[in-house]
Structure 1
Amino acid sequence: MMNYKGYIGKVDFDDEQHIFTGEVINTRAVITFQGSSVKELEDEFKNSVDDYIDWCNKDGVEPEKPYSGKFNVRIYPQLHQRAAVGARILGMSLNSFMIKSLEDELELMHI
């Protein structure tokens, strides 16, 4: 994964064309890049993000921010209750408990 100005790029290798292809994965906007070397890929990733921000500024559009930090999750009532009880047992708010749970799971995935 690549990170530039808060935008995260995911990279794949196209074995038919023998190039790296990438896409920014934390926006709804489609931002892509490619390169035949790691250096070229990094440069093109940064150029693509900068071009996107410049395009937005020229068109008077606010560039999409990579996530606001707020999201709604719908879970079944029994899980909600278990999470609330678990948070109380640990002396945490439900929000803090959920943040810790997400961080723990993502750390296991090395994200």
Structure 2
Amino acid sequence: MEEYLRICKERGISPHKEYSGKFNLRIPPELHSKIAVLAASEDKSLNQWVAEKLEKSLAM
């Protein structure tokens, strides 16, 4: 990471990239089905359920 930041500084490039908040994730159909059922059982959208799980997995 330090090397990346050094190179950005040398080149006058911002090390921060703006993200759209969207990305495609390829998963097996069986996993997709299980996640959809779990999300529905919690009355959440698939997107909301997955986003919450990702946030929780990154919490320290």
TM-score band (shorter)? 0.7 to 0.9
Counterpart CA distance in 2 for 1:65 and 1:103 is: 19
SS in 2 for 1:75: coil
| Identity over aligned pairs, percent | 39
Structure 1 runs of 4+ with >6 Å offset? none
TM-score by length of 1: 0.44
- Counterpart of 1:84? 36
Q: Which has the higher helix share?
A: 2
Superposed CA deviations along residues 49-79 of structure 1, whole A, max 9, x for unmatched, are xx214xxxxxxxxxx7332211000000110
Q: How many residues align?
A: 57
Structure with the higher strand share, 1 or 2: 1
Structure 1 stretches of 5 or more lacking a match?
1-9, 11-21, 24-30, 35-44, 54-63
For 1:52 and 1:69, the matched residues in 2 are separated by 22
Question: Whose Rg is larger?
Answer: 1
With the length of structure 2 as denominator, give the TM-score of the two structures.
Answer: 0.77
Partner in structure 1 of residue 58 of structure 2: 106
